[in-house]
C-alpha cells in the first residue's frame, strides 16, 4: 500500500487539475481565434502569432503573445 502512495506523490498533480488546465487552454485558444485582426493589432498581438497559438494542441502551455 505504501508503494502506491509514493507513486501518487511522485506523479505530480492529479488527473482533475490537469483536465481543468487543458479545458482552460482550449477555451482560451477558441476565444483567441474569434478575435478579429484589427482588435489583435490594437492589443499589440500579431494576428499571425494569434492564429498559430489558437491552433496549437491543448496540452502545450499558452504563450505570451505581446510583442
The pLDDT, as a whole number, for residue 10 is 56
Q: Does 4 map to a domain?
A: no
Buried residues in 25-43 as b, exposed as e (16+ CB within 10 A): beeebeebeeeeeeebeee
Q: What is the pLDDT along the chain (67 residues), one digit of tens a residue?
A: 455 555 555 556 688 999 999 999 999 999 999 999 999 999 999 999 999 999 999 999 999 988 5
Which residue, chain included where needed, has cell 490594437?
A: 42
Residues spanned by the domain of 51: 14-61
> Is 24 part of a structural domain of the chain?
yes
- How many structural domains comprise the chain? 1
Residue 50, in any domain of the structure = yes
**SS3 assignment, position 12:** coil
Predicted local distance difference test score (pLDDT) of residue 43: 95
Q: pTM to 2 decimals?
A: 0.74
Q: Which grid cell is 57?
A: 494542441
1 within domain boundaries: no
Amino acid at each position: 500500500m505504501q508503494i502506491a502512495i509514493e507513486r501518487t506523490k511522485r506523479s505530480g498533480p492529479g488527473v482533475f487539475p490537469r483536465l481543468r488546465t487543458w479545458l482552460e487552454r482550449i477555451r482560451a485558444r477558441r476565444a483567441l481565434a474569434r478575435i478579429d485582426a484589427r482588435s489583435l493589432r490594437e492589443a499589440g498581438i500579431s494576428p499571425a502569432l494569434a492564429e498559430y497559438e489558437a491552433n496549437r494542441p491543448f496540452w502545450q502551455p499558452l504563450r505570451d503573445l505581446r510583442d
